[in-house]
Amino acid sequence: MKRLGVPQVALLLAMWMGPLEAGGEMGSNAIGAVRSSEFPAASLIEVVLPGPLSAVEAFASASGERSLILLVEDGEGSEGPRFIYELRLGATVELSDLPVVLPAGADSLAAVDLAGDGFPELFVGEPGRIFRLTGEGRLELALEGQRVDLKSRARLGLDGSTVDAPELILVAVGNATWYTLDEEGGGLSKVEEVRLPVRAEMQGSWLRLSSPLVSALPRPGLHRELTYLVGPESIGARRLRTLILEPGGGSGASFRGRWSQLPTPETVQESQYALLDGEIVLLVSTVQADKHGIFEKKKFRVLRLVEDRSRSGVAPLLEVLTRTRNWYPTGVGVFDVNRDGFDDVILIQPKGLGGGKLVIEAFMGSGSGGFDGKTRRTDLEVETETWSYGKDVDLDGIPDLVLIEDEVLLVFTGVADTSSKAVLHREPGWRVVIGEVNDSLRVLDVLGDRRPEVLIIEEKGTGFESSTSAEEAGTEESREGQKEPIRGRLGLVIFSSPERG
Amino acid sequence: MAWMTLDTAWKLILTTGLVCLFLPASSAARNQKVQQVSLELPGAPSLVLSADVDQDGRLDLAVVVAYTEWDQIDIQEVSEMQGVEGFVEVLTVIPALTDRRELWVFRATEDGGYEPLTEALPLELSILSMAATSDGSKIVALTDQGVSLLRFGDEGEGPHLQLDRWLEEEPVMAGSGAFLPNLELLHDLDGDGDEDLLLPTAEGIAVFLGPLGNGPGDLVSLSRLPGETIQVHGEVILHYPIPLVRQVDGDGLPDLVVPDLKHDWQRFYVLRSAGAGRFLPPLRLPAGDALVSPPIVYFGDLDGDGVAEFVTEEDLADDDAGMRKEIRQAKRPPVRYRLHRSRQSLEMEPEPYEEFEVIGYAFEEGDSEFPLPAGFQDLDGDGRQDLITITLEFSLLKALSILATQRINIGLDFHVWCQDANGRFEPVKGLDLSGRFRLNLKDLRIGQLSQFAGDFDGDGRTDFVQIGRGRKVTIHRGGDGCRFPVQPDLSIRLLEEPKDLSLVQVRDLDGDGRADLMVTQPEVRQELDVTPRARLDVYLSRGEP
């Protein structure tokens, strides 16, 4: 069927002119088998799952045992049954199938410490319902509602995982609701509900209604207290509105508008809230709004959120033309690189038409959110769009950069020398061969030892092949013409030494 | 300044000069003439409705305008001041950007023009949509609380417009502050000749029977439509189906048809009418799990018997062609259509009753923001649907430049296949309906492309409007066999060339049975974030059909 209009034709033509994506090849492997590979100062645990991997959560049981909980679909189709697996990370690493009958629509997991006892409660969601998985392995209905969706829970912290959340916050179109654990029944009790902005538009025969997700940032010095933010919403071509939750003191909480102003008409492509010298700021990458530059480089802005009664906002604290073309992602971090007591902003920029280089540039803060024009910079000769910056892998107090290039996970550690002009060491501190990865990585402390691990998540594939499994994967001829089942894959990289590898 | 006064608005009627343009281009159109009126507005109109607001028997124009302008916020505070005993009242004046939404009503005058009826009615953000009944007797407003009716009053404080609340039922998009101009919520669902209301609520589609505004509002059915989905992709997204109202089962009553969000017309649902505004449970078509191949692109009554037919579309393009041929095929795609009748159960008969090949695009994607002036339409007034397709003419360089400018100057040619009494589609030869058109890809949602949108002479056949040639617009009267003469029957010279094609609309504005032309002309933006003023040029068809 023809699905082509003028813009689609143009895009097609542009695609013809672009580089072809290199084809990947996946091998099969023993389903459920846990394999461990050793690398200098690191080990890799890999497991192939019988179907697509829908969700992963790090979990700690009351006995202190650490594990990963995996929600897996049936490999034969998206409407088949779902299963929960637990990858136990004790003295021996083993994968077990939890004997729980999941609802057919189960599509999400959440491990949240709602009781505040240091151990998370585990929830399983399907559209319209949320279940709590009890310690006895039972699934109990915790919340039901026409448009309840566990996938809509608030984004916490810079990378979505760093903040200890006292509540479960779910967003529906038009409202955000705070839930705590019901002390009696173990279900979820509503604490607070606030209205969210709703965007409505017609799309063919469909009414599309949407509300932004809620982000949360820790309040400095306050344990388990968060600032909740919604946005940014573009109001016109230059103004951005952020809503910050104002406690209502018994009369119900509400959001209050804060305004930011872009220097020129721009469209926000990526956004993130962060604390800069104790003040919440908005970090955005943008492209020009009135026309599209085919080879345009992204702009980066650090924006204040002001309660501006004129609603026009104030100019950015920092304006940067990045080295990154508009089709590549950028990354950000906030850290006091030169230890002068003022936060600096670190910008991660893929460089070049085809990538091939990653520029990590720090813009030196001068206090109160200002910048003194000085920068520090490290150029890495790597080709990647998958990275995570900000976690301290070598435990020296300096943020490190974890990235995947081809089939290798690399960790570039932060430079501790405050007088250095570099942000990162140019030689990787760790190098782990992980095989081909198409999806994502997450850096978080799974084992609870304060040193982060790396989760490599392949939601859908046909298995995996790493350096050690390539021979087992069968020949290309034997796989040709065969329809491979869809399998998820999980990799866990555990760093064992602070020494550079 | 809050809003404009009547006096100011009067002055702003730019060329209220009612210009009669007699430009007959052929003897067939000797009695055709056009009356032109320009209306000044504080921004481009979001919606233009024809309705008899002042109840004088003539259809007026009700125009919804949304715009942003600089205003001021006055904040009165009481505070202590050094050297002043006691408290001091301080008035702080802060300039602020203010979003406004207003309803402007222009009364139809005896001489065929328009004049402001009264001051513009400020519309709160709680007004979500507006629509006029087909006879123009009422304008209804969908609000956060339910439905209100527009009333023009002349009592008390003088002539004024107001919205009287009629129905309390919160729509699903309440609180969005969005104005959705073309929701198409008014239909005669029970066949009694009165329009009824289809109201999307969180619990489902609610039906309130007409006459609208009489009594408290009679909820007769609430149907949960299939296919509603929630997605989380950086935001929480609810896709809520708005059904198409079509007669598909031949019982003379309109049914509800809901295309699938993922599969468009390859899988859809029908809620057959049970009479009196009620509907049977959804019926999924095709019933099997497997999708029909080639895919279904249309389900509707083609031959005028009230029973819907299925149309499948097979792409005949050569997938292994070289780049040059692929571009040629992208401009002039070869396609084969197969027409299948419905069984009584509405399932598709496996064997087609008609099959034909065409060149060009006819159907856009279900959620497309780029509505094509193509597809099935009864062009010659015989009650049977005919087919319009479009072929494109553009260069590779131009196509790439779209990405940069979001505007394109593109050649479009229209092709017509006329359906005969036997249900056969035959190509109409000898047409010259091509033109070059400037499209603003960002603003295509504003309006429809209007080449086959009106009957300018009131003879029941669709006329072709040639609007891709600068200031000159030509009308080609539709004839038997879906023919359109190469030579125009009427030429209109516009005050100004349309800035892009989506700013042109063709509709019968004055209810005389003849289509009229409406062109929005936004002024140059002077300041970022402040909406430029706009002029609405209306060209009314006059004369005998």
Report B:101-160 residues touching A (Cβ under 8 A). 128
Answer whether the bond into residue B294 is a cis peptide, omega within 30°: yes
User: Which chain B residue has its CA at the smallest distance from A290's CA?
Assistant: B405
The closest alpha carbon to A454, from A395, A488, A409, belongs to A409
Our CA dihedral for B423, B425, B428, B433, rounded to 10 degrees, sits at 110
Q: Does B230 touch chain A (CB under 8 A)?
A: yes
A103 CA: distance to closest CA in chain B (Å): 17
Q: Does B290 touch chain A (CB under 8 A)?
A: no
Mean pLDDT calculated for residue range B421-434: 90
The closest alpha carbon to B225, from B252, B200, B250, B189, belongs to B200
Rounded Cα–Cα distance for residues B498 and A110 (Å) = 54
A497 CA: distance to closest CA in chain B (Å): 36
Interface predicted TM-score of the whole assembly (ipTM), two decimals: 0.83
Contact B237 A210 (CB under 8 A): yes
- Position B15 scores a pLDDT of 29
Q: Does B287 touch chain A (CB under 8 A)?
A: no
pLDDT per residue of chain A (501 residues) written in tens, 0 to 9 = 333 343 344 433 333 333 222 222 223 345 677 888 889 899 999 998 888 888 898 888 878 889 999 999 876 655 667 889 999 998 888 888 888 888 888 989 988 888 877 788 899 999 889 999 887 788 899 999 877 889 888 766 544 444 556 788 898 998 888 898 887 767 898 888 888 889 999 887 889 999 988 888 877 666 567 788 998 988 878 889 999 987 655 566 777 889 999 999 999 999 999 999 988 999 999 998 877 677 889 999 999 999 887 778 889 999 999 999 988 999 999 999 888 899 999 999 999 887 789 999 999 999 877 898 899 999 999 988 889 998 999 999 899 999 999 889 999 999 988 889 999 999 999 999 988 777 688 898 889 888 999 999 877 654 444 433 333 333 333 344 455 667 788 899 999 865 543
- At A10, give phi and psi (nearest 5°): -65, -40
- What proportion of chain B, given as a percentage, has pLDDT over 70? 81
Q: Does B447 touch chain A (CB under 8 A)?
A: no
Q: Does B421 touch chain A (CB under 8 A)?
A: no
Contact B399 A13 (CB under 8 A): yes
Looking at every residue in chain B, the average pLDDT score rounds to 82
For residue A401, which amino acid is it? Answer: L
Contact A5 B364 (CB under 8 A): yes
Nearest to A291 among B177, B392, B404 (CB): B404
User: Which chain A residue has its CA at the smallest distance from B529's CA?
Assistant: A236
Report B:355-374 residues touching A (Cβ under 8 A). 361-370, 372
Nearest to B235 among A4, A6, A210 (CB): A210
Rounded Cα–Cα distance for residues B352 and B345 (Å) = 17
Chain B hits for A212, Cβ within 8 Å: 235-236
Starting at the edge strand found earlier in the chain, the sheet holding A188-195 runs A168-172, A175-181, A188-195
C-beta neighbour count of A381 within 10 angstroms: 9
- Position B347 scores a pLDDT of 93
Rounded Cα–Cα distance for residues A326 and A297 (Å) = 5
Chain A hits for B327, Cβ within 8 Å: 13
The closest alpha carbon to B242, from B149, B299, B180, B301, belongs to B180
Is the predicted pLDDT of residue B3 greater than 50, yes or no?
no
Instruction: Output DSSP code: residue B277.
Output: T
Task: Say whether B179 sits in a helix, a strand or coil.
Answer: coil
Nearest to B361 among A4, A13, A293 (CB): A4
Task: Say whether A291 sits in a helix, a strand or coil.
Answer: coil
Q: Does B289 touch chain A (CB under 8 A)?
A: no
Mean pLDDT calculated for residue range B334-340: 95
User: Which chain A residue has its CA at the smallest distance from B336's CA?
Assistant: A1
- Position A261 scores a pLDDT of 93
Contact B172 A309 (CB under 8 A): no
Chain A hits for B237, Cβ within 8 Å: 173, 208-210
DSSP per residue, A153-182: BPEETTTSS-S--SSEEEEETTEEEEEEE-
- Position B523 scores a pLDDT of 86
For an interface test with B, give the residue of A147, A202, A260 to mutate (most B CBs within 10 A).
Answer: A202
Nearest to A6 among B230, B363, B410 (CB): B410
Contact B173 A200 (CB under 8 A): yes
Contact A1 B315 (CB under 8 A): yes
**Of residues B301 and A470, more confidently modeled:** B301
The closest alpha carbon to B334, from B354, B356, B353, B351, belongs to B356
Is the predicted pLDDT of residue B433 greater than 90, yes or no?
no
Chain B hits for A147, Cβ within 8 Å: 230, 238
Contact A149 B236 (CB under 8 A): yes
